[in-house]
Amino acid sequence: MLNRAVGLGVNAPATEEDVDAVVQALAGTTFYVAVAPSALPRGLPAWLAARGLEPGWGWMTFRRGIDDPPTARTELRLEEVQDQQQARTFARVVCVGYGLPGALESVIARAPEAGWICWLAMEGDEPASAAGLYVADGIGYLGFAATLPEHRGKGAQGALLAARIRRAAELRCDTVITETGELQDQRPSNSYRNILRSGFEEVAVTANWLGHT
């Protein structure tokens, strides 16, 4: 999922030469090519299939206004990331929660420097969960939501969703958006349910075409 091409056919209709350039750039990896609902031309998926790519796990985009979210109950304590030590803890939780390589921790730890507002959910002195909010042009994007396996089911993500929605409202956002994997049989759906419970509406699925070269 980290080897990916985004935006193909969004700002201008893609060409077959564009598709070839993307596949060539990602050669030697397992990768995704994201195809947004608005991507043109409509025959783009057929071009990808002709080059050996297969439909993968798409991402559903969700949207809501900034009205107050439902009450989220948890015994965990939420802390906003304020210093480098907390940023490193945040990065570790994200990497473990998503199964990402530990080498990415130093990159993710710089999220606050890049404008992200980040939170940790704590059980006593132990981190349980993490999440972030990025604001631009009146829109709040919710990302980096991850929970350590041993702390799942404790209400962390519901509370972090509520905290981020409220902060987006304080920052005068008009809209909050987020995303998670589309509903599929045998795929986890806890995040999907948490998002819907927090008042989000489904918008559309961005297809992810899987390639092996």
How long, in residues, is the chain?
213
Tokens 């404790």: give the residue: 154
Residue 56's pLDDT is what?
A: 93
- Are residues 20 and 87 located together in one domain of the fold? no
At 29, is the secondary structure helix, strand, or coil? coil
Residue 52's pLDDT is what?
A: 96
Residue 210 lies in a domain: no
Tell me how many domains the chain contains. Answer: 2
Residue 29 lies in a domain: yes
Residue 32's pLDDT is what?
A: 96
Residues of the chain with pLDDT under 70: 188
Average pLDDT of the residues of the chain: 95
Crossing angle of helices 190-197/156-170, nearest 10°? 40
CA distance linking residue 64 with residue 18, whole number of Å: 34
Residue 104's pLDDT is what?
A: 95
State what percent of residues in the chain have pLDDT above 70. Answer: 100
| Closest by Cα among 154, 13, 188, 147 to 75 | 154
Residue-wise pLDDT tens digits, 143-165: 999 999 999 999 999 999 999 99
Residue 212 lies in a domain: no
Helices within 73-155 (DSSP H only):
84-98, 105-108
Does the pTM exceed 0.85? yes
- Are residues 190 and 114 located together in one domain of the fold? yes
CA distance linking residue 28 with residue 52, whole number of Å: 14
Residue 186's pLDDT is what?
A: 76
Residue 29's pLDDT is what?
A: 94
Residue 208 lies in a domain: no
CA distance linking residue 3 with residue 29, whole number of Å: 7
Range of the domain at 21: 4-55
Residue 23 lies in a domain: yes
